[in-house]
Amino acid sequence: MNPNAFLQIHHVSKTFPGVKALQDIDLEVQRGEIHALIGENGAGKSTLIKILSGVYQPDPGAEIVIEGKKCNQLTPLVALKKGIVVIYQDFSLFPNESVAENIAITTDIEKGTKFLSWKKIRSSAKSALERLGVELDLDAPLGSLSVAKQQLVAIARALTFDAKLLIMDEPTSALSKSEVEQLFAIMRNLRDSGISILFVSHKLDELMAISDRFTVLRDGKYLGTFNGDELDNDILISLMVGRKIEYTIYPKRDCRGAGKVLELKDFNKSGNFKDVSFHLYKGEILGITGLVGAGRTEVLKAIYGINPQDSGQLYLEGNKITVRSAEDAVRHGIAYMPENRLSEGLVLRKTMAENISVTVVDKLATRSGLVDRNRQSELVTKWIQELNIKPPYPDMLASKLSGGNQQRVVLAKWLASNPKVLLVDEPTNGIDVGAKTEIHKLLRDLAESGISIILVSSELPEILAIADRILVMRRGRIVGEFNGENATQEEIMNKAILGGKQPVKA
C-alpha cells in the first residue's frame, strides 16, 4: 500500500436493477493532492461519490482503505468521522439561517451536543473562515450571499468536520472567472496544508489548471489514472468519448421542406440561458446536448411554461403564442417528458391506466362529470399495445413497472393528448441498453408520423443515433449546430467544453 495515500479503493462495482453503474473501479487519492475525477454524464462519477460518502454500499468484493486501514462498511456518519466531506452543487445549506449557523451548528448536532453554545458556534465559524483567508458577516442570512460566497461557507463547514478529503462536485458551474480564481487559490492552500481534494468537473481547461492527477471513468469503467503532464485537452476528450457506439444509427432526414412547427426567438432567462434562437420542423428530431449546467433543461422548461423565459418570442406554426404555464402548453399541443420520470412524470401510487389517461381525463368525462370507463379502457389498451408496455396490465401500479416501461407510460400519457410538439429530456436516463434501443425506435416512429421532437440528452451516442439536427449549448448559449450526417462525438464535445476555440483531433 502507498503510505502517502489517504484513500485507496479496489474492485468497486455498483449494480442497480437492470443497470451496472460501476464496474471494477480503482482509485487512489494521495494526501495533499488535487485529484480530478472526469467522464461524460453517466460515466459513474456521481455513483462513486455516493459510495465514498457512504450513501451507497458497493457490490460485494470491493475494498476501501482509508489512511491505511480497511473500512468494512462506509456509512455517511463513518465517512464524516474519517474526514470525507462532499460539497454538492446545491451546497446543502440553509438559506434562512446565518453564516455562522450554516458553518458550525451541524457539527455540534452531529456530535450529539445537548446544549448549543452560540459563542462556540460563532468562534468555530470564524476560525474556519480564517483558515480559508476570507471574511464574511457571521450574522448575515446565507440566502443574502452570492453563490461564490455560499460556496465558501460550504467549504468552511467542511473544515469544521476536520475534512481530510474534500469532494467538490462541479464547484465552478455558477462562478465568474474572478470567483473561480479565488476558489482555486483556496483549493491550493488547502492542498498545501495536507487536505486532499477530489475535483469533479466537465470544464477541462479548469481541470488542467488546478489538478495534479486525473482519473477517467467511461461507461462505469475505470480507464486509468494519469499525471497532469501526460495529458492535454485533446487526449482527455478522446478518453472521455472514445467508446463503442451501441445504438442503431438511424438515417438523417432533411425536414426543412415540411415547414416550421416551432420557433424560438431571442429567449433569455436570467441565470439560465441567453439569446437562444432556433426552429423545429414538422416531423424532425432536434437534438440539444451540452454539459451539466449548459441550460438545456431550462430551455425546455421555458417552452413548456414551467419556468417561463424573461424575454423572447415563441411561435407555433407561424403564430406567436404565449406559454406561461403547463396548461398553456398542453392547450397549444406541446407535451413534455421530464428527466425525472419518478417525481415529475408519473404518479407512482396510481395505476398505469390512471397515469396514461390523466392528460385527457376531461375528454373522457360523461355529462355527469364521471370518467367513461369504457372509453378510458379503449384508450389505455390502445397505447399499451402500440408502445408494447409490459406487463400489459392497466390496473398495475406505476411503481411496480421497470424503468423502461415507466418511460413508455410517460410517453403514452402525452401521446394520448395528440401533441404537435414533444419535448423529451434525457429519455433513457437510468434505463438498460435493451430498453434504450426500444425508446429510440419509438421516438423515431413518432417523428416519422409527423410529431416534432426536441430531444435533450447528455449521451452523445444517443444524440448521434436518432437526431436529424443537433444543437450544442455551453454556459446558457447555443455554440454550435450540426446536421446529423456530419457530426462526430469529438466535434460536439469540443463545442460543449471549449466552445469550439480549439480543434480536437479525431
pLDDT at 89 over 80: no
Q: Give mean pLDDT, residues 60-75.
A: 92
Banded pLDDT at 308 (limits 50, 70, 90): very high
Distance CA 273, CA 465 (A): 26
pLDDT for the residue numbered 504? 39
For residue 89, being part of any structural domain is answered with: yes
Q: Give the side-chain half-sphere CA count within 13 A for 502.
A: 11
Same domain, yes or no, for 121 and 33?
yes
Asked if pLDDT for residue 114 goes beyond 60, the answer is no
Q: Do 289 and 354 lie in a common domain?
A: no
Whether 232 shows a pLDDT value over 70: the answer reads: yes
Q: Are both 156 and 300 inside the same structural domain?
A: no
How far apart are the C-alpha atoms of 226 and 212, rounded to whole Å? 9
| DSSP string of 177-202, one letter each residue | HHHHHHHHHHHHHHHHTT-EEEEE-S
Residues 293 and 357 in one domain: no
Q: Are strands 63-66 and 5-16 parallel, antiparallel or unpaired?
A: antiparallel
Q: What is the pLDDT of residue 248?
A: 81
User: Are 233 and 137 found together in one domain?
Assistant: yes
**pLDDT at position 2, please?**
79
Distance in angstroms (rounded) separating the CA atoms of residues 151 and 254: 46
- Prediction pTM value: 0.57
Residue with cell 481541470: 207
Question: How many other C-beta atoms lie within 10 A of the C-beta of residue 290?
Answer: 28
495 and 376 in a common domain: no
In a domain, 10, yes or no: yes
* SS3 readout for 393-418: CCCCEHHHCCHHHHHHHHHHHHHCCC
- What CA–CA distance (Å, rounded) separates 166 from 226? 20
Query: What CATH number corresponds to the domain at position 158?
Result: 3.40.50.300
Quick one: how far is CA 200 from the chain centroid? 13
Structural domain containing residue 410:
343-418
CA distance 446 to 315: 22
Q: CA 467 to CA 247: how far, in whole Å?
A: 12
| 115-133 per-position pLDDT tens digit | 567 788 888 889 889 888 8
**CA distance linking residue 443 with residue 420, whole number of Å:** 14
Segment 232-242 shows an average pLDDT of 78
Tell me, yes or no, whether 64 lies in a domain. Answer: yes
Q: Determine, yes or no, domain membership for 338.
A: no
Residue-wise pLDDT tens digits, 165-208: 999 988 886 676 788 888 999 999 999 999 999 998 877 888 99
User: Do residues 351 and 399 touch, judged by C-beta distance below 8 A?
Assistant: no
Of 4-13, 99-108, 113-122, 261-270, minimum mean pLDDT range: 113-122
CB 205 within 8 A of CB 36: no
End-of-domain residue from the set 188, 212, 241: 241
Same domain, 221 and 134: yes
Last residue of a domain, one of 403, 418, 433: 418
Residue 235 has pLDDT above 90, yes or no: no
Tell me how far the alpha carbon of residue 10 is from its chain's centroid. 26
Does residue 200 belong to any structural domain of this protein? yes
Statement: residue 370 has pLDDT above 70: yes
Q: Are residues 105 and 193 in the same domain?
A: yes
Lowest mean pLDDT among 142-146, 360-364, 469-473, 500-504: 500-504
Examine the domain organization and report whether 392 and 285 are in the same domain.
no
In this structure, what C-alpha cell is assigned to residue 369?
Answer: 362529470
Look at residue 77 and tell me if it is in a domain: yes
Q: Which of 339, 302, 297, 293 is nearest to 322 (CA)?
A: 302
**Alpha-helical regions (H) of 14-71:** 45-52
Label residue 17 exposed, middle or buried (CB < 10 Å: 0-12, 13-18, 19+).
Answer: exposed
Whether residues 77 and 204 fall in one domain: yes
Instruction: Mark whether 253 and 225 lie in a shared domain.
Output: no
Of 399, 418, 437, which residue is a domain's last? 418
Residue 95 lies in a domain: yes
Do 10 and 80 have their domain in common?
yes
Query: What is the domain count for the chain?
Result: 3
Examine residue 141 and state whether it is found in any structural domain, yes or no.
Answer: yes
What is the distance between the alpha carbons of residues 249 and 256, in angstroms, rounded to a whole number?
A: 21
pLDDT at 108: 55
